[in-house]
Structure 1
Amino acid sequence: MMRLLSALALLLAATTVTRADDPPPKGDVSKYTFDASKIFPGTTRTYSVYVPKQYDGEKPACVYVNQDGIGYNAPAVFDKLIHEKKMPVTIGVFVTPGVVKSADNKAALDRFNRSFEYDGLGDAYARFLLEELLPDVETKKTADGRAIKISKSGNDRAIGGGSSGAVCAFTAAWERPDAFSRVFSSIGTYVGLRGANVYPTLIRKVEPKPIRVFLEDGEADQNIYGGDWWMANQEMERSLKFAGYEVNHEWGKGGHNGTAATKIFPEAMEWLWKGWPEPVKAGKGSSQMQAVLIPGEDWKLVGEGYKFTEGPIANAKGELFFTDVPEAKTYKVGDDGKPVLFSETNGKASGFAFGPDGSFYGCGGFGVAKYDSALKTTKLADGFGGNDLVTLHNGTFFVTAPGNNKNEVYFVNAKGDKKLVDTGIKFPNGITVSPDQSLLYVAESRTHWVYSFVIQPDGSLKHKQKYFHLHAPDTADEASADGLKCDRNGVLYVATRVGVQFCDQAGRVNGIIPTPNGKCANIAFGGKDFDILYATCIDKVYARKVKAKGANTFEAPIKPAGPRL
């Protein structure tokens, strides 16, 4: 009798188990309107939310965000893949572009915001999703009362779209890989409509990010005034592969429509989510990037809570000093890697330097001053507002002085005698010399250039050139180059809006290292081997161990190997 009951129990259990070949349960789709954006003011849009039956309303679910509303038969695809456990339990959010309604004038056209929101570079659309739309989604409930909870982990988030919606998806992940790590891109608009044609170059140069990308396109895609979609998508794939990203693609013969994408969408979703919850890994980057960065080493926070950090410089022991300019305080990074207050006042210095004899110098509105052991100042040269300075092994200085629209560069000898050696650079800012101390480099903050000069024996300058060509963000008109430092191989490191850009001796950006808070005012090499790259980033200071070693200008000149052609 007991055996019969056990058999019946097993039979009953078997009939209630969901099998992979059973019809998948159908998720719920609901539609909403959102008109409260501050990032895209005045816009109204609709969005739909798909919630799978497997979602319990308790544990935050993964999410897939799609531009241009529901596409690719996505709800049915998700039903099937979630049922077959080929993707995690995932909430779908399908959002349309915003429309700015005209005023009462009925003859006026509504403004369709799609290209502005989708084709543009920068983090605006990512912020719109993260700060506005997804929080609004989480205020909703399903028809049966389940609260909608979305995971905040980028590893649990995918984003996709077609054409402009595809480049929009890629941009959101590129700007915020911490929020979106998986990208589906169909017939992506990586062309010159609003600057997305730069992506194949940036992918090769920027430190790789933890993003996995599936690309789809066909050879009959558009070839118009903005560019060639078919060639641009192939270039994206080659750049992603070059930089070591996880990238997959489906090339066909189709045109600029969603036909092919709809067919391969299930395959793409399965590939994008493969291995989940294992995190998506970043690529290795170019050989130039690998020559500077150490695998597994990342930026580490040194200190925070400052108003505006500047002037990082290391002494002969590799001990780093920096200033919080508005507070006029000087800090020293201790042996434990943490900053300690070194002086309560420094005259609001913005730049520091050490001389060949170990003397400590600073510049600011007071000109150039020498500090004693208590950081009391003795004026060395005045009559100009110094911004940054560099000392040479022979005890002389070069100083940038951008104040009062004069835009000057001065030479100061060891006695404090000054000489105007250049004018006309648009806000001369960071300054350094090549390792052999034959060339002077000056950052032009109002453009995307760093100038090069040949230093003459008397301190004068010749052969002024716009030499180093920097990258500027699409959201700004200049690179805002500031602090400059060279390593012992002659590579120039530049603090800019997009992070630390490093350039070869031929003046070309070889790589870009973003900082954690997206800001960077100045840089220095420190540590006992001068292989710690420090970055002052407004309210924070970061450090990162690298393979490169800094060239100290107060030491004897170093002749690096010649530049590559």
Structure 2
Amino acid sequence: MNMNRVFPLICLLSVIFSFPVSAQIEVKKSLVAKNAELVKVGNGYGFTEGPAVDREGNVFFTDQPNNKIYQWKFGTGEIIEFTDASGRANGLYFNREGELIACADMDNQLWSFDKEGKSKVLIENFKGKKLNGPNDLWINPRGGIYLTDPLYERSYWERDPAMQQDGNHLYYLGKDGLQFFRVDENLVKPNGIVGSYDGKKLYVADIGAKKTYVYDIEEDGYLTNRQVFVEMGSDGMTIDNRGNLYLTGEGVTIFNNRGDKIGHIPVDAKWTANVCFGAGDRKTLFITASDAVYTLQMKVRGVW
């Protein structure tokens, strides 16, 4: 790991593409900044995933096939390598202590990284059996971690059988690291996940069922009152300060907190994997899509 090693200039910074998108977005209310353009800030990756913002507004994202995490630096826009030993991380999220929590798909574990890039294993298995492959996560205001665990078989796995759990489930890890239990066992293939700012609602995309659910969050971490939020699945997702939900796949589709579609951001990529708000004011939308990373200036802002 070398925090000062910059990803090859030819791939990331020599060509920055932008094009206006406001005319292409169908919206019921104004979400995107005036004259906003979708800007490709980095390309040449294997497959980008897991954007996550730290307290300073820097955005970290993964290049999963190449086992790396990169950092987009707020203020300069420079992209540098954070670690080249990411555990083939997928979803990322920062906790309140400033640690980067990662779904380490390589060994089906949950990891944490300190600010220097040193990793630590948080979860190795569930009841003595390997997880399918932690995919995405969200951390509630009390520090508890919700994570999705669908099975996407990888060529680099050395285990038999590939699935050791009895299905694709949703899990909760308490802040103390001692409590680790399932909170929903009735999902087809859970993927993207995010919660409301107040920690009272949890949204989980079941990409296998082509649905996104909303739950009430109890103080002990358990979930109640599962409802279908929208009849659409998603890869990654995020939420803004108005409670609008951003789902990914074919571009970014935006729903208000009642589940009404209010916008769509087209992205020129085979697959749009994930999304988050970053920069100092949290008004820059970061989109990871196939081999590239894009930004879009917004009127709304993200929430911690």
Query: Pick from 417, 431, 434: which aligns with 2:196?
Result: 434
Residues 146-295 of structure 1 aligned to structure 2 (within 5 Å): 208-209=23-24, 285-288=26-29, 291-295=30-34
Residue 315 (structure 1) aligned with residue 54 (structure 2): yes
Shift of 1:208: 3.6
Partner of 1:376: 118
Query: Pick from 253, 269, 290: which aligns with 1:501?
Result: 253
Q: Give 2:267's aligned amino acid.
A: T
Distance 2:288 2:40 in 1: 10
Distance 2:303 2:230 in 1: 19
Query: Pick from 227, 230, 233: which aligns with 1:468?
Result: 230
Distance 1:461 1:287 in 2: 32
Distance 1:518 1:402 in 2: 21
Residue 386 (structure 1) aligned with residue 147 (structure 2): no
Partner of 1:536: 288
Which SS does the other structure have where 1:352 is aligned? Answer: strand
Gaps of 5+ in 1: 1-177, 179-205, 210-283, 471-478, 553-565
Distance 2:197 2:117 in 1: 28
Structure 1 residues 421 and 373: alpha-carbon distance in aligned structure 2, compared to 1, 3 A threshold: same
Residue 303 (structure 1) aligned with residue 51 (structure 2): no
Residue 345 (structure 1) aligned with residue 112 (structure 2): no
Distance 2:58 2:261 in 1: 28
Which SS does the other structure have where 1:535 is aligned? Answer: strand
Shift of 1:295: 2.7
8 Å CA contact 1:299, 1:516 repeated in 2:
no
Which SS does the other structure have where 1:421 is aligned? Answer: strand
Which SS does the other structure have where 2:272 is aligned? Answer: coil
Partner of 1:360: 100
Partner of 2:272: 520
Distance 1:286 1:428 in 2: 28
Distance 1:303 1:339 in 2: 8
Distance 2:302 2:115 in 1: 25
8 Å CA contact 1:307, 1:326 repeated in 2:
yes
Q: Give 1:379's aligned amino acid.
A: V
Distance 1:332 1:544 in 2: 17
Partner of 2:239: 486
Residue 511 (structure 1) aligned with residue 276 (structure 2): no
Partner of 1:452: 214
8 Å CA contact 2:28, 2:262 repeated in 1:
no
Q: Give 1:532's aligned amino acid.
A: T
Q: Give 2:145's aligned amino acid.
A: F
Name the TM-score, length of structure 2 as normaliser.
0.81
Partner of 2:170: 409
Query: Pick from 138, 143, 147: which aligns with 1:399?
Result: 147
Partner of 2:76: 336
Aligned length: 262
Shift of 1:299: 0.6
Distance 2:194 2:68 in 1: 23
Shift of 1:359: 1.7
1:405-464 Cα offsets, whole Å, 9 max, x none, are: 721100001122311111222210010101221011001112431111111111111111
8 Å CA contact 1:302, 1:338 repeated in 2:
no
Which SS does the other structure have where 2:46 is aligned? Answer: strand
Which SS does the other structure have where 2:86 is aligned? Answer: coil
Distance 1:353 1:434 in 2: 14
Considering only CA atoms, is the larger Rg found in Structure 1 or Structure 2? 1
8 Å CA contact 2:94, 2:101 repeated in 1:
yes
Shift of 1:496: 2.0
Q: Give 1:522's aligned amino acid.
A: N
8 Å CA contact 2:168, 2:185 repeated in 1:
yes
Which SS does the other structure have where 1:326 is aligned? Answer: helix
Partner of 1:425: 187
Q: Give 1:407's aligned amino acid.
A: N
Q: Give 1:300's aligned amino acid.
A: V
Q: Give 2:94's aligned amino acid.
A: F
Distance 2:277 2:26 in 1: 22
Distance 2:265 2:255 in 1: 12
Shift of 1:518: 5.0
Higher RCO (Cα < 8 Å, 6 or more apart): 2
Partner of 1:549: 301
Shift of 1:285: 4.8
Say what the alpha-carbon RMSD is for the aligned residues.
1.9
8 Å CA contact 1:207, 1:512 repeated in 2:
no
Which SS does the other structure have where 1:292 is aligned? Answer: coil
Shift of 1:488: 0.9
1:103-136 Cα offsets, whole Å, 9 max, x none, are: xxxxxxxxxxxxxxxxxxxxxxxxxxxxxxxxxx
Distance 2:259 2:28 in 1: 17
Residues 45-60 of structure 1 aligned to structure 2 (within 5 Å): none
Partner of 2:14: none
8 Å CA contact 1:469, 1:508 repeated in 2:
no
Q: Give 2:170's aligned amino acid.
A: V
Structure 1 residues 285 and 386: alpha-carbon distance in aligned structure 2, compared to 1, 3 A threshold: closer
Distance 1:390 1:294 in 2: 27
Which SS does the other structure have where 1:306 is aligned? Answer: coil
Distance 1:363 1:518 in 2: 23
Structure 1 residues 337 and 422: alpha-carbon distance in aligned structure 2, compared to 1, 3 A threshold: same
Shift of 1:525: 0.3
8 Å CA contact 1:207, 1:514 repeated in 2:
no
Gaps of 5+ in 2: 1-18, 126-130, 152-162
Distance 1:435 1:347 in 2: 29
